[in-house]
Structure 1
Amino acid sequence: MSGLFIRPYEARDWDAGLHIFFTTIDSSVNFEPARTIGSYIWFKSYVLLTPGTCFVLDDGTGRAVGYIIGTASTNHLIERWKEVLVPMVDPKLVPKPEVSTGDAMMERDDVRELRGAVYAAQCNMLESTPHLLEQYPAHLHINVLPEFQSSGFGRRLMDTFLQKLRDLGSGGVHLGMVASNANARRFYERLGFQLCDGVLDDGESGEVGRQGHAICLVKKL
């Protein structure tokens, strides 16, 4: 895999980034309209609002084949999300949650939750625990096309992103992941992430660091 290198995200990476997002999306939301709605939550918001903390893995020809995107300040992202992103959202693609569309797929409970998340800027797992968000104010998403995984560049993407956070003065970072994805968890733990020790769901699961089918991992910088 010679020729691969990491560089800052650029506007020309939009289509390739969406391709990466749709290719690597979790199976639980790999259907329409969840895919399109989810792209606002887990991809578009970051590259539009915080491109300075977004990086791509370039295959050597200018094509992005992986990315790490995120923000040094979750609270700042939420503010800009509401001010800038929400007015840009096409209500035909992402109807507000209170709108009854008459479309069975659009009215699924999980899709309505995604619709609500877009308009409420629900983008991370620590919103309900301000004391934890203060400790781990940054958060991220990382995805690499399958054929470029296990190349060592996942770690390099993470190293690049974390160094950028340190340069910006961020003291900690968190991420959310599907609890059943053991391979991803091992990857993050090798990089120094650990399960958040806070209760995130009012004790519903009886576990720390858990919210529904997701868990939150954290790392001090």
Structure 2
Amino acid sequence: MTTTAPARIRGYRPGDHDALHEICIRTGKGGQDATGHYRDPGILPAIFASPYAELEPGLVFVADDGGPVIGYIVGTADSTAFFAAFRERWLPTVAARYPAPEGTPEGPDAHLRDLLHHAERMLVPEIAAEYPAHLHIDLLPEGQKRGLGRKLMETYLGALRERGVPGVHLGMDPANTNALAFYERMGFERLPEPPGREDGFHLGLRL
């Protein structure tokens, strides 16, 4: 009989970098594998995983069941400071591999390269003022339906509370109804969107 080993949530270690990279790609298309969707899918972790491990490793936690890491949560306590550091410290390390597109971006790769070079677009000052932290969480299929998402989230939120952070937010794809249900169970609520922003919506949680 096959059994699933109990998983633990622990802090990030430098040796986890490749696992974060892989998980981000394997969950990068609405929770599904994005490998064949991009010419170079490494652009995904270059935006949504690796900079957090580099710039704020103390707020990166992983799910570990004794083998390769099967999930993670990454984030920052201060979104405004994070995106400033992203431009000043992180972007120069990856810009040559992922150059900014010339002209209007066309295709999924170009759109992500454009986002990489203008990551501050993800910052919504009106939201970050009250909910300064933000996060990204991903679990491989073998890590799902085991309560690990909740454990990762509780660990991350606990770390934010220890730092005195007043609130946390995240961006939502309206089509990802399973994720929305999870966040709502965790207590997140939909936030009012500033005028002119129509690409999805945001959820927030006061801590």
Answer yes or no: same fold by TM over 0.5.
Answer: yes
- Residue segments in structure 2 that go unaligned for 5+ positions in a row: none
Deviation of 1:158 after TM superposition, in Å, equals 0.2
Contact 2:20 2:45 survives alignment (8 Å):
no
Mapped pair 1:41 → 2:47: yes
Cα–Cα, structure 1 residues 29 and 78, in superposed 2: closer, same or farther, change >3 Å? farther
Aligned residues between the structures: 201
Deviation of 1:109 after TM superposition, in Å, equals 4.5
What is the rounded CA distance, in whole Å, between the counterparts of 1:211 and 1:12 in structure 2? Answer: 38
What is the rounded CA distance, in whole Å, between the counterparts of 2:129 and 2:39 in structure 1? Answer: 34
What is the rounded CA distance, in whole Å, between the counterparts of 2:33 and 2:144 in structure 1? Answer: 21
Deviation of 1:113 after TM superposition, in Å, equals 2.9
What is the rounded CA distance, in whole Å, between the counterparts of 2:192 and 2:167 in structure 1? Answer: 14
Which of these residues, 16, 26, 30, is aligned with residue 13 of structure 1? 16
What TM-score do the two structures reach when normalised by structure 2? 0.88
Q: Which runs of 4+ in 1 moved over 6 A?
A: none
What is the rounded CA distance, in whole Å, between the counterparts of 1:29 and 1:110 in structure 2? Answer: 14
Cα–Cα, structure 1 residues 99 and 48, in superposed 2: closer, same or farther, change >3 Å? farther
What TM-score do the two structures reach when normalised by structure 1? 0.83
Q: What residue number does 1:118 align with?
A: 116
Residue 36 of structure 1 aligns to which amino acid in structure 2?
Answer: G
Deviation of 1:163 after TM superposition, in Å, equals 0.5
What is the rounded CA distance, in whole Å, between the counterparts of 2:77 and 2:102 in structure 1? Answer: 32
Q: What residue number does 1:205 align with?
A: none
What is the rounded CA distance, in whole Å, between the counterparts of 2:23 and 2:121 in structure 1? Answer: 19
Which of these residues, 71, 77, 83, is aligned with residue 76 of structure 2? 71
What is the rounded CA distance, in whole Å, between the counterparts of 2:27 and 2:38 in structure 1? Answer: 15
CA RMSD across the alignment: 2.2
Calculate percent identity across the aligned residue pairs. 37
Residue 11 of structure 1 aligns to which amino acid in structure 2?
Answer: P
